[in-house]
Structure 1
């Protein structure tokens, strides 16, 4: 929806005409470059978080495999857990 706005010296703006309610005060205005920069920062943060989660998962897997090699009871339980996870994955893929 296109609106006509009037930008003030303090960085705020008001809707003058168009589809929005007249007189609506707009704050925290940004340029398209600022929006792109913020989006890129959010994307990088998401990727970093995902990378860290995958790294933690890989470390947990390694520790579990080491423990399973030493403890037969844990190995059986770990194998059951992995089979259940695989079954859940198959059900998710079917849905």
Structure 2
């Protein structure tokens, strides 16, 4: 069975392995993680700004706010970030 060209596992190797009943099965082998460098931007929050609107400005989608949230673990309340708060906005791989 070939891996679809659109699959996230497309570059992984496959191998035949035996399951607990002794039957051969095709398995997808995991690739070891690679070090990656993430590009980020610093952003200063404005008065009455919400994280979903910042997300829409940077990513074109309000639902991607969680990426900014994960990059700023010290901010506990995103409902109304303080004006002047500087946050990190992930921009993609360098």
TM bin, normalised by shorter chain, reads: under 0.3
**What is the TM-score of this pair, normalised by structure 2?**
0.27
Higher helix share: 1
Q: If each structure's strand is expressed as a fraction of its own residues, which one has the higher value?
A: 2
Larger Rg belongs to: 1
Higher normalized contact order (CA 8 Å, seq sep 6+, divided by chain length):
2
